[in-house]
């Protein structure tokens, strides 16, 4: 019931890896492994060893599905906001490169925000993504 309420409030909740594999295994590349994943009523995002998979079920029935990927090697900045008092939620915002060539002169970027319930410990997710962003910045600026 708490996960449903959290979903109705627009917050992601963590899902087990076996559940993610059974529901979304068709979207994985060969040999790609799921590390963790989260669900928001019908939508989900999954972190694999290569990318973030964003799954957006659209329409009233949810049969129409949009699947997008953010490759981990394109993430260059991560921001975290913890929940405060009242109805404040936790957030993790990723900034990533969308252009195919990461060292181009005409770099294109985007941001994506994930919201979690105020009691969700967002620190481990933030630390893992920040480690990836830090390594990417070193690689991009070398």
Q: Report in angstroms the alpha-carbon separations of 126 from 1, 28, 62, 104, 109.
A: 26, 23, 30, 27, 20
Is the CB of residue 38 less than 8 Å from the CB of residue 14?
yes
pLDDT at 73: 94
Q: Report in angstroms the alpha-carbon separations of 87 from 3, 5, 20, 43, 93.
A: 16, 13, 29, 22, 19
Task: Summarize the confidence of residues 29-48 as an average pLDDT.
Answer: 89
Q: pLDDT tens digits for 112-132?
A: 998 887 777 888 889 999 999
Percent over 70 (pLDDT), the chain: 89
**What is the C-alpha to C-alpha distance for residues 57 and 94, in angstroms, rounded to an integer?**
21
Q: What is the number of other CB atoms lying within 10 angstroms of the CB of residue 81? A: 16
Of the two residues 28 and 140, the one the predictor is more confident about is: 28
pTM, whole model, 2 decimals?
0.80
pLDDT at 141: 85
**What is the C-alpha to C-alpha distance for residues 72 and 30, in angstroms, rounded to an integer?**
17
């Amino acid at each position: 019931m708490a996960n449903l309420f959290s979903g109705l409030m627009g917050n992601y909740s963590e899902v087990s890896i076996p559940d993610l594999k059974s529901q979304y295994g068709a979207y994985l590349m060969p040999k790609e492994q799921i590390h963790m994943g989260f669900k928001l009523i019908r939508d989900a995002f999954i972190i694999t060893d290569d990318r973030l998979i964003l799954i957006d079920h659209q329409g009233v029935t949810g049969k129409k599905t949009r699947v997008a990927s953010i490759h981990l090697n394109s993430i260059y900045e991560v921001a975290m906001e913890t929940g405060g008092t009242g109805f404040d939620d936790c957030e993790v915002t990723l900034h990533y490169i969308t252009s195919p060539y990461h060292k181009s002169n005409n770099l294109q970027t985007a941001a994506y925000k994930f919201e979690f319930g105020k009691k969700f410990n967002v620190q481990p997710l933030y630390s893992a993504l920040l480690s990836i962003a830090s390594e990417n910045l070193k690689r991009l600026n070398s």
